[in-house]
């Protein structure tokens, strides 16, 4: 792992993978999927945030980009270039790191109606999103 890896990235693939990961969020948190359960677990029902505005789309777009970029750096540094290898990288990053930090954060969350339900939905989203991103990045070098 060295900073020079940034010169070896396929930036178009990074952008496309970011959009796929972000776009999955619109489905994942839609009412017909996990949206209702997630809002209840978060304590949103009855008092949805006011005036959230563009930030509610902008922040996830930026965070999806950062996580996709990190995954692309790790894919390049580890020579990940097949679907199978992409899946392994996604398990390592999406479960090993992302799900771990979300789970331990939820463990200490005393204010949400169902903190671990919200963690499970979010950790599932990031794993699925990073899985799509990782496979795209592995195949499109």
DSSP calls for 58-106: HHHHHHHHHHHHHHHHHHHHHT--SHHHHHHHHHIIIIIIIIHHHHHHH
Indicate the residue among 16 and 39 with the shorter CB distance to other proteins: 39
Indicate the residue among 16 and 65 with the shorter CB distance to other proteins: 65
Indicate the residue among 23 and 96 with the shorter CB distance to other proteins: 96
Give least dist CB 18 to other proteins, A: 11
Q: Which residues bind other proteins (CB under 8 A)?
A: 1-3, 42-44, 47-49, 55-56, 59-60, 62-64, 66-67, 69-71, 73-74, 77-80, 84-85, 88-89, 92-93, 95-105, 107-113, 122, 126
Q: Are 76 and 18 in contact (CB under 8 A)?
A: no
Terminal Cα-to-Cα distance of the chain (whole angstroms): 17
């Amino acid at each position: 792992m060295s900073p020079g890896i940034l010169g070896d990235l396929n930036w178009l693939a990074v952008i496309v993978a970011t959009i796929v990961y972000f776009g999955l969020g619109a489905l994942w948190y839609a009412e017909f999927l996990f949206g209702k359960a997630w809002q209840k677990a978060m304590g949103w029902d009855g008092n949805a945030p006011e005036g959230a505005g563009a930030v509610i789309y902008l922040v996830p777009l930026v965070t999806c980009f950062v996580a996709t970029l990190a995954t692309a750096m790790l894919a390049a540094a580890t020579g990940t270039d097949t679907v199978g290898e992409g899946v392994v990288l996604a398990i390592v990053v999406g479960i090993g790191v992302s799900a771990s930090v979300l789970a331990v954060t939820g463990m200490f969350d005393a204010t949400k109606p169902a903190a671990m339900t919200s963690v499970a939905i979010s950790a599932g989203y990031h794993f699925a999103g990073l899985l799509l991103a990782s496979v795209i990045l592995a195949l499109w070098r």
